[in-house]
Amino acid sequence: MASTSSYGAQVSALLLFALMVVSSSRAAFAADFYQEFDLDWGNNLANIVNGGQLLTLSLDQTSGSGFQSKKEYLFGRFDMQLKLVAGNSAGTATTYYLSSQGPTHDEIDIEFLGNLSGNPYILHTNVFTQGKGGREQQFYLWFDPTTDFHTYTIVWNKQRIIVLENQEAIGIPFPNSQPMKIYSSIWNAEEWATRGGLVKIDWTNAPFTAYYKNFNANACLWSSGTSECSSSSTSSPSNAAWQTQDLDAIGRRGLRWVQQYYMVYNYCTDLGRFPNGFPPECI
């Protein structure tokens, strides 16, 4: 593997599918979790503390836990700082994603798959459009996501989910009409998460806890069947830089670096799944 102290350290932000990771514990935003999110399952395993500045999700043998945003959005940039489960987290999955509702839902999916102590976490990504997913990619994380908070950003605009392009012109569905909420959870995924389910959860290490802080949404709010970005106001999020954001030269080089050294799985190279030809976006 390439050394992260050389080229990797020069990449301040790397976007993978719908993910941008900034390896820093500093942030200029600090939304109140009480105002932004509902703890929707897990009872006392989900908690908001520190006056609304920190949220924790835990998993034990009785249940996992999760939260969802109070608001819905149609396009935006969503920043969240996470610190993942430390130590032996094998069999656990911690998620951070956007999703609409219903059988034909859209979803931008990020999952962090737990590991045996000393092994890297796996980042699992997928995108659903009109109820259909199957766009999985997996990468080893090239840093330790358990020792400090790292910023994870989803950028979703009309042209792309970084770096999934809108290719509706050639018949490939793209999530651009269904408003989504932000969700996160930690749950028992031992049947598949670590080495394809070979390594199970060691419950002597429970509870397993993930930590969240410094949420920020620069996005188009959805309310009463319409988006605020239809407003012509100069202060509207429709005028924000994320609306046309794409990978710059550093981001493209960083993406190639991670694909070369850290990619574990790519649906666009899985002949077993697509013996009659890969999906058109792969080509």
Question: What is d(CA 229, CA 245) in angstroms, rounded to the nearest whole number?
Answer: 16
- Residue type at position 108: I
Element spanning 68, H or E: strand 65-69
* CA 49 to each of CA 32, 193, 259, 280: distance values in angstroms, whole numbers, following the listed order: 10, 29, 38, 46
Residues 6+ apart with CB under 8 A from 140: 120, 121, 122, 123, 262, 264
The one catalytic residue in 72, 111, 136, 190 is 111
Q: Would residue 111 show up in a list of annotated catalytic residues for this protein? A: yes
Structure tokens at 211: 């930590």
Distances (CA, A) of 144 to 91, 147, 182: 17, 6, 24
Residue type, 220: C
Q: The tokens of 218 are what?
A: 């620069």
**C-alpha dihedral, 221 to 225 to 230 to 236, nearest 10°:** -20
Q: Which of 107, 165, 191, 228 is catalytic?
A: 107
Residue 228 annotated in active site:
no
Q: Which residues are catalytic?
A: 107, 111
